[in-house]
Structure 1
Amino acid sequence: MLQKKNMSFWGIVRFCSLVVFVFGIFSAFGFYKSLETTASKSQKYPFDYLPTSTTNQIIKHNYFTLSYNEKYEQAEWVAYELKKAYVKNSNFNRPYFIEDPKVKTGSADWRNYKKSGYDKGHLCPAGDMEFAINAYNDTFFTSNISPQTHDFNGGVWNRLEQKVRYWATKYDGVYVITAGVLQPNLKTIGQEEVLVPNYFYKILLDNSNGQYKMIAFLIPNSKSDKPLYEFVVSVDSIEKMTGIDFFPKLDDKTENSLEKNSDYKA
């Protein structure tokens, strides 16, 4: 009789433990879903902020959009909103880079980078998407990378990415457009001849109750210890280099005023 009671008791304990475990899983899942839903509802920058595409191959993922250039096997721009709520540190495991299933012409195979001497440099940083695992994983599509020298990727480019996250927290979110400057007759790597840009740009837009601020950076794909403000240029100058109109839906007066500015302090 005592043995049966003990078995019944431990059965109840095991059942309760299972309930707690399952509840914990669903609670964690609900937390991340809630975070994603909250973030998506507070849309500060509509898709009207997207640049023009010179290739007409615009790919929309859940948290960033890109224009893929098949000729150079990478994005000519990646655009996304970096919200204050996105700036997290989740320590997710890094997945393998894979081809982007949404690119109809096929994004470059990661093997093009193997033994090339260049890093698989993120355009939309994985560190900007650590608020949810699916957002983080999407940054590992090969449509979101470009050949970067190691000292550039881990040095001045990384410093700029960290500064952008600081600004996103300070200004309650910023809009980011970034990529390499794609020009003919540059070095390529791999069988698919992935272009190695000489320069990378990053353009930031802040909209605080209709008050706009804009800043652009143009940085050589090489090691540099220079302060970031030395790389500030006008958006106009990057548009001339790329042939891209970065903010076609902004009213002309605002756009013209902002895109001529190259004042870091402003």
Structure 2
Amino acid sequence: MQPDQTESTPNVLAVNSLSTSADDSNLLLGNPSDAKASSVEGNNYLMDKTYFALSYNSGKGTPNWVSWHIQSSDLGTTDRSDDFRSDADLLSGWYNVKPGSYTNTGFDKGHNCPSGDRTSSKSANSSTFLMSNMIPQAPYNNQQTWKGLEDYSRALVKDGKEVYVICGSYGKGGTGKNGGTTNTIDGGNVTVPANVWKIVVVLADGKKDLTRIDKDTRVIAINTPNQNSIDKDWKKYRTSVADIEKATGYKFFTSVSSTIAAVLKKKVDNLN
């Protein structure tokens, strides 16, 4: 359902005034779908959740993409909050996905921005449990393949790096633990994606990040089928950013010089 066009939009000023060029900004690398914090953008609604930014798709009940930055100060000792809950910032008239929307569906409540990337405080960790940060994800995809890349990304940070991450999904129809292809759950209100992708840009920890991105910057991109039969080794699903662009229609690295971005988009990571 499309929102009432007269509905006031929460956090519009905060999102539209969000600096995307400042070091460590969640949108430093750009806004892949040109999402906007406007009530007319129901399927491409820009939201600033402080600890990550996202484009929400009210028609699918899931984010199109989520973008965030990880540095050493983001990784602390806060326990996992597990306080899954609806997002109160969604506009009136939009279906509000609840934790129970995924019950007995055969799919996990799959984080885009992981709980483990936000352990510096209770509020940081709790933010990742908003349902606007979730997709119906095949359990093995979530708990094995994606967990592997998430752990690897955090290990890079602990080893003196900082990373910028963009994660999303596309298509329709996944296979969970109940078997068979499922297109939607929760009475058709939540779309089950066919594919889940992620892009990780790796830099040595430092300042003036945009100026330090060059043709030699490491870029890790993966694109996985949302299936429970998936291989647990995320490295087997490495691809190029250019291929993710073709699959999604998004445009990545818009804040980076076009010459450098063109080189980075063609890369297929092969490091261990």
Deviation at 1:63? 1.1
Structure 2 residue identity aligned to 1:134: S
1:49 matches 2:29:
yes
1:144 to 126, 133, 152: 133
SS in 2 for 1:102: coil
The equivalent of 1:214 in structure 2 is 219
Deviation at 1:226? 4.9
Asked if structure 2 preserves the Cα contact closer than 8 Å seen for 1:73 and 1:192, the reply is no
SS in 1 for 2:264: helix
Structure 2 residue identity aligned to 1:189: I
Structure 1: segments with no counterpart, 5+ residues: 1-41
Name the % identity: 28
Structure 2: segments with no counterpart, 5+ residues: 1-21, 36-42, 175-181, 205-211
Change (3 A) 1:151 1:255: same
1:254 matches 2:260:
yes
Deviation at 1:250? 1.2
What's the Cα RMSD here? 2.3
Structure having the higher helix fraction is 1
Larger Rg computed on CA atoms: 1
Moved more, 58-67 or 244-253: 244-253
Deviations 1:99-126 (A, max 9, x none): 1122223542222211111111111111
1:237 matches 2:243:
yes
Structure 1 residue identity aligned to 2:200: L
Asked if structure 1 preserves the Cα contact closer than 8 Å seen for 2:195 and 2:225, the reply is yes
Structure 1 residue identity aligned to 2:62: Q
Deviations 1:71-120 (A, max 9, x none): 2110010000011221223224422x211122223542222211111111
Equivalents in 2 of 1:44, 1:170: separation in Å? 18
Using the size of structure 2 for normalisation, the TM-score is: 0.75
Using the size of structure 1 for normalisation, the TM-score is: 0.76
Moved more, 166-175 or 235-244: 166-175
The equivalent of 2:86 in structure 1 is 99
The equivalent of 1:190 in structure 2 is 186
Aligned residues: 224
